[in-house]
């Protein structure tokens, strides 16, 4: 909807809101995990917007349809897109 690929309907607006909320929540949890466990490290820049994360997640999901669980796909996307430097 934000890029004009979907019709601006009430239902699509609800789906967009749900997507944005899920991605923001998952990003917040991922950052907390990265700060508190040794086995999961991502370095997402503070300046990245939620919409950029949504776009990266959609692109990852499109390229990797075998990951059908959103939480797994999101964590994998973060680890590929934002690995911490050595």
pLDDT digits (tens, 9 = 90+) for 1-30: 566 677 788 887 888 888 888 888 888 888
Q: Is residue 5 part of a domain?
A: no
Q: Is residue 1 part of a domain?
A: no
Does residue 36 or residue 63 have the better pLDDT?
63
Q: Is residue 39 part of a domain?
A: yes
Specify the number of domains making up the chain: 1
pTM, two decimal places: 0.75
41-to-2, 21, 60, 85 alpha-carbon distances in Å: 30, 22, 18, 10
Q: Is residue 2 part of a domain?
A: no
Q: Is residue 3 part of a domain?
A: no
Give the residue numbers spanning the domain of 47: 10-81
């Amino acid at each position: 909807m934000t890029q004009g690929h979907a019709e601006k309907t009430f239902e699509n607006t609800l789906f967009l809101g749900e997507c944005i909320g899920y991605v923001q929540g998952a990003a917040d949890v991922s950052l907390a995990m990265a700060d508190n466990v040794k086995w999961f490290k991502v370095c997402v820049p503070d300046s990245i917007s939620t919409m950029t994360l949504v776009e990266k997640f959609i692109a990852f999901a499109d390229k990797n349809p075998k990951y059908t669980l959103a939480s797994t796909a999101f964590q994998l996307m973060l680890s590929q897109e934002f690995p911490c430097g050595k």
